[in-house]
């Protein structure tokens, strides 16, 4: 399949820079530094970029309203399915229940494919077109597969998505419905990622979270931009991010940093928090040991399958950030289910286990005094409960089956 138009990169981009040694690269399919193997990040010219609050306010309510700080400009007819500008909800009831004055839920589970992954996939797939590739793909724990497949469908690209064989059936069906070729791998996410990294060059695939990763991660910065704008250009004091590879946490931190550099907010959040599942907690473990390096979890074991990454690609960068400020905490499977139910019962939001991890960690850190009860706290809820309903179905009150008559109904209602 051939794409018709090549997408130009934004004129605000200076190039790519190594996150470790700072070496500069021209915009290219490079994703790792040839000197030190560090990750490469897109660097902007803030003299040129300069978005204004007024100009942003006039734009369409989707992630591209922050176009000056993204690698591509929608004026260039990019391919889009309208991800972003999801609701920021003041969670009054849940806040009261947990003893917090100002709790907010960033409900990113209502994106077009029902997870935050639409944001990075949006930029990654447009980057593939920019580089003239006609096939895109990803290594996924489930949600990225659908996001990549949906954007590929929109753009008319071939799509090959790879997931571990234990991925939830709803996620697999969703990705396939968009027309992607879905390959299940008998192994962990890390096995999948290794295989896909080898396949990327061999088969000339634009793998959004491998060779297109510098662009892909940019999309998730919009999670910081939106929260700041929705809080009237203020940052929260604390925010909690469900974390697997660490890419989203890093991107959100970078988003707030860029807003501060551009004077769009006065202060960055003082308490960024990483939330992981207890059965796959390599970042939390390293944080608690005050270690600079990650010990890989070979066999993750958690109901939060979307967070089951034992060897987090951005883990060391997350640890570096946590050295300066913030916390990392984990949650057991039972706590995750409790977290899902709390958010559903108190705020009417049904999340997948990744969101349950966030609420469980919120509860723990408030109880331990690591989150101040008077702080403005934002919980990033990044995936939809409908994708994983089997996780909680058998943990809920049983369903009563009756014959269609009032006598039987009476028995149920009055016990
Ligand atoms: C719903 C959800 N939340 C959070 C994450 C973690 O994202 P990251 O790998 O960027 O840390 C994922 C990853 O797949 C996810 O699907
Ligand atoms: Zn380097």
Query: In this structure, are 30 and 172 located in the same domain?
Result: yes
Atom number in ligand 1 closest to CA 144: 14
pLDDT of residue 221: 98
pTM for the predicted model, two decimal places: 0.97
For the chain, the 3-state helix, strand and coil shares in percent, each to the nearest 5, are: 40, 15, 40
pLDDT of residue 49: 84
Cα(236)–Cα(337) distance, integer angstroms = 26
Q: Which ligand is nearest to the CA of 189?
A: 1
Q: Are 343 and 106 in contact (CB under 8 A)?
A: no
Shortest-distance Cα residue to atom 15 of ligand 1: 306
Instruction: State in Å: Cα 383 to ligand 1 middle.
Output: 8
Query: In this structure, are 289 and 177 located in the same domain?
Result: no
pLDDT of residue 389: 94
Count of domains forming the chain: 2
The answer to whether residue 122 is domain-embedded is yes
Choose one of 162, 188, 216: the last residue of a domain.
Answer: 216
Residues of the chain with pLDDT under 50: 1-4
Which residues on neighbouring strands pair with residue 182, listed in sequence order? 161
Choose one of 188, 216, 244: the last residue of a domain.
Answer: 216
Tokens of 387: 């994708």
Instruction: State in Å: Cα 376 to ligand 2 middle.
Output: 37
Q: Are 119 and 81 in contact (CB under 8 A)?
A: no
pLDDT of residue 216: 98
pLDDT of residue 78: 81
The answer to whether residue 50 is domain-embedded is yes
Query: In this structure, are 132 and 173 located in the same domain?
Result: yes
DSSP letter assigned to residue 371 = S
CATH label of the domain that carries residue 177: 3.40.50.1100
Shortest-distance Cα residue to atom 4 of ligand 1: 242
Ligand 1 environment, Cβ below 6 A: 115, 117, 141, 143-144, 242-249, 306-307, 352, 354, 382-383
The answer to whether residue 405 is domain-embedded is no
Q: Provide the strand spans (E) within 144-247.
A: 158-164, 181-185, 206-207, 238-242
Distances (CA, A) of 88 to 111, 207, 242, 258: 13, 31, 17, 20
Query: In this structure, are 195 and 320 located in the same domain?
Result: no
Cα(221)–Cα(223) distance, integer angstroms = 5
Could you write out the DSSP letters of every residue in 44-89?
Answer: E-HHHH---HHHHHTS-SSGGGGGGGSSS-GGG-----------EE
Cα(405)–Cα(182) distance, integer angstroms = 46
DSSP letter assigned to residue 275 = E
Domain that holds residue 67: 13-80+117-216
Burial classification of residue 118, based on how many CB atoms lie within 10 Å of its CB (0-12 exposed, 13-18 middle, 19 or more buried): buried
pLDDT in tens, 63-110: 999 999 999 987 767 889 999 999 999 999 999 999 999 999 999 999
Query: In this structure, are 127 and 255 located in the same domain?
Result: no
CA angle 183, 337, 270 (to 5 degrees): 90
């Amino acid at each position: 399949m051939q794409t018709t138009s090549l997408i130009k990169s934004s004129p605000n981009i200076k190039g790519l820079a190594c996150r470790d040694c700072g070496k500069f690269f021209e915009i290219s399919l490079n994703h790792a530094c040839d000197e030190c193997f560090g990750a490469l990040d897109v660097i902007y010219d803030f003299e040129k970029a300069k978005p204004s609050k007024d100009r942003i306010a006039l734009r369409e309510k989707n992630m591209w309203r922050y176009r000056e700080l993204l690698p591509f400009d929608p004026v260039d007819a990019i391919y889009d399915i309208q991800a972003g500008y999801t609701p920021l909800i003041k969670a009054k009831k849940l806040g009261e229940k947990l003893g917090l004055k100002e709790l907010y839920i960033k409900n990113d589970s209502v994106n077009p494919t029902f997870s935050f992954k639409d944001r990075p996939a949006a930029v990654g797939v447009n980057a593939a077109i920019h580089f003239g590739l006609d096939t895109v793909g990803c290594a996924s724990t489930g949600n990225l597969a659908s996001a990549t497949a949906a954007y590929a469908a929109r753009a008319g690209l071939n799509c090959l998505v790879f997931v571990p064989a234990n991925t939830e059936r709803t996620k697999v069906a969703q990705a396939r419905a968009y027309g992607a070729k879905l390959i299940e791998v008998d192994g962990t996410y890390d096995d999948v990622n290794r295989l896909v990294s080898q396949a990327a060059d061999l088969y000339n695939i634009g793998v959004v979270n491998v060779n297109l990763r510098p662009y892909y991660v940019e999309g998730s910065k919009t999670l910081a931009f939106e929260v700041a704008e929705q809080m009237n250009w203020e940052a929260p004091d604390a925010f909690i991010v469900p974390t697997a590879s660490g890419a989203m946490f890093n991107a959100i931190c970078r988003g707030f940093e860029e807003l501060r550099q551009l004077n769009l907010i006065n202060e960055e959040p003082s308490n960024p928090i990483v939330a992981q599942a207890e059965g796959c907690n390599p970042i939390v473990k390293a944080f608690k040991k005050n270690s600079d390096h990650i010990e890989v979890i070979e066999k993750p074991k958690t109901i939060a399958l979307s967070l089951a990454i034992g060897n987090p690609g951005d883990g060391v960068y997350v640890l570096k950030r946590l050295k300066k400020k913030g916390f990392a905490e984990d949650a057991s499977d039972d706590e995750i289910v409790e977290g899902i139910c709390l958010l559903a019962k108190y705020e009417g939001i049904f999340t997948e286990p990744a969101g349950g991890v966030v609420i469980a960690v919120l509860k723990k850190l408030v109880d331990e005094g690591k989150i101040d009860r008077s702080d403005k706290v934002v919980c990033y809820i990044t995936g939809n409960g409908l994708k994983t309903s089997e996780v909680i179905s058998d943990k809920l009150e049983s369903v009563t089956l009756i014959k269609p008559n009032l006598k039987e109904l009476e028995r149920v209602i009055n016990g």
